[in-house]
Amino acid sequence: MRLSGQDDAAIARAAQVLAEGGLVAFPTETVYGLGARADDDAAVAAIFALKGRPADHPLIVHVADPADAEAFVSGLGDAARRLIGAFWPGPLTIIVPRAAGMAEAAAGGQATVGLRCPSHPVAHALLAAARQRGVPGVAAPSANRFGRISPTRAQHVVDEFGEAVLVVDGGGCEVGIESSIVDCSGRAPALLRPGQIPRERLEAVLGQPLAAPAADSPRASGTLEAHYAPRAKLRLMPAAMLNTALQMLGDGALKLAVYSRTVSLPPGSQLTRRVMPDDPDRAAHELFATLRELDDQGPDLIWVEEPPADTAWDGVRDRLIRAAAA
């Protein structure tokens, strides 16, 4: 069922469902999340069951305001404080040591917890209304089945789970790819997942370079090699290779969809092509919706032009590499 995120009564109703241990899908500035109260292990278990997600993959806990994060943390270090000050509310998740007994199931048994304070006004309204009803934080993974493309519109959530799931509709997500994740629980902060915030901005705020994730850092499903998978096989190719392949293909045998920035289709080609924007933020904004749209046309293959090498494209490139590995 769908509720409007613009409607105060609908927000109150969704907050009440969360308070009573139910699931609510809601918009954030990154992607839609599938939420349950973080302090209710049975409610959190229902998320894992609906997504088909392995129980040892921890969930991010979302809070209405930065101060609400403290209840979940056993100690905020300097790096976490700096990141919170600079980027919250916004598309950044921090991994910090977890307060004893808090959000056990959501954290997948880890000694740490992922925390995020989203900037989307509907997410904020819902989290604040839930807090009023005694909910300290909302655990929410992206609202897609395990391993599939994250949802950036309410309709995508319905496409994933059907009409049975309660969705608060907040329109399209601005950022379009999931939050950047910085692990602040070890000796040096490490980037576990690139998002919209460029690595250089994170490093400038931290005053030190980001480390590579430790070999023993917890398995993060968004960081599994294969993820974000369309049904069609996705291939990521440099522009020159894509161009040559398209010229050689001619008409016919393969049902192919093309997502490219600089490479156009050969004259007269009947193939479907979507144009990838030149701006990395716009490309991120459209990425998952475009992949879903191309996939829905039922091609055998989706050929995608590799994005440029600079760090502004790290988030988009990361998602495409994982989609291609599926």
The distance of closest approach from Cβ of residue 306 to Mg ion in the complex, given in angstroms and rounded to an integer, is: 23
The residue sitting closest to Mg ion, measured at its beta carbon, is: 142
**Given 218, 280, 307, 315, the residue binding ligand TXA (CB under 6 A):** 218
Count helices and strands in the chain by DSSP H and E runs: 9, 14
Q: With respect to Mg ion, which residue has the nearer C-beta, 31 or 125?
A: 31
Ramachandran quadrant class, 255 (left: phi over 0; alpha: psi -120 to 50; beta: rest)? beta
Q: With respect to Mg ion, which residue has the nearer C-beta, 66 or 147?
A: 147
**Given 10, 31, 154, 276, the residue binding ligand TXA (CB under 6 A):** 31
The distance of closest approach from Cβ of residue 175 to ligand TXA in the complex, given in angstroms and rounded to an integer, is: 8
Ramachandran quadrant class, 323 (left: phi over 0; alpha: psi -120 to 50; beta: rest)? alpha
Verify binding: residue 64, ligand TXA, rule CB under 6 A.
Answer: no
Report what 139 binds from ligand TXA, Mg ion, none; CB cut-off 5-8 Å by kind.
Answer: none
Residues 6+ apart with CB under 8 A from 263: 239, 242, 243, 246, 305
Find the part of the chain contacting Mg ion (CB under 5 A) among 105-113, 138-146, 209-217, 295-303.
Answer: 138-146
Q: With respect to Mg ion, which residue has the nearer C-beta, 295 or 305?
A: 295
**Given 93, 142, 180, 243, the residue binding Mg ion (CB under 5 A):** 142
* Alpha carbon 8 to its chain's center: 26
Verify binding: residue 58, ligand TXA, rule CB under 6 A.
Answer: yes
Verify binding: residue 57, ligand TXA, rule CB under 6 A.
Answer: yes
Q: With respect to Mg ion, which residue has the nearer C-beta, 197 or 242?
A: 197
- The Cα–Cα gap between 210 and 4 comes to 40
Q: Which segments within 140-276 are labelled E, that is strand? A: 167-169, 180-183, 190-193, 233-237, 256-260, 272-275
Verify binding: residue 33, ligand TXA, rule CB under 6 A.
Answer: yes
Question: Phi/psi at 252 (nearest 5 deg)?
Answer: 125, -115
Tell me the three state secondary structure of residue 161: helix
Verify binding: residue 59, ligand TXA, rule CB under 6 A.
Answer: yes
Q: Which segments within 41-186 are labelled E, that is strand? A: 60-62, 92-97, 112-116, 138-139, 167-169, 180-183
The distance of closest approach from Cβ of residue 150 to ligand TXA in the complex, given in angstroms and rounded to an integer, is: 7
Verify binding: residue 60, ligand TXA, rule CB under 6 A.
Answer: yes
- The Cα–Cα gap between 129 and 135 comes to 9
- The Cα–Cα gap between 308 and 326 comes to 22
**Given 90, 137, 141, 189, the residue binding ligand TXA (CB under 6 A):** 141
Task: Map residues 111-130 to x or -, x wherever contact with ligand TXA holds by CB under 6 A.
Answer: -xxx-x--------------
Report what 140 binds from ligand TXA, Mg ion, none; CB cut-off 5-8 Å by kind.
Answer: ligand TXA
Verify binding: residue 28, Mg ion, rule CB under 5 A.
Answer: no
Verify binding: residue 157, ligand TXA, rule CB under 6 A.
Answer: no
**Given 11, 63, 87, 93, the residue binding ligand TXA (CB under 6 A):** 93
**Angle, CA 159 vertex, CA 105 and CA 279 arms, to 5°:** 90
Report what 315 binds from ligand TXA, Mg ion, none; CB cut-off 5-8 Å by kind.
Answer: none
Q: Percent helix, strand and coil across the chain, each rounded to 5?
A: 35, 20, 45
- The Cα–Cα gap between 95 and 61 comes to 10
Q: Per residue in 148-177, is it b (16+ CB within 10 Å) or e — as a string? A: bbbbbbbebbbebbeeebbbbbbeebbbbb
Binding interface with ligand TXA (CB under 6 A)? 28, 30-31, 33, 57-60, 93, 95, 107, 110, 112-114, 116, 140-142, 178-179, 181, 192, 218, 220-223
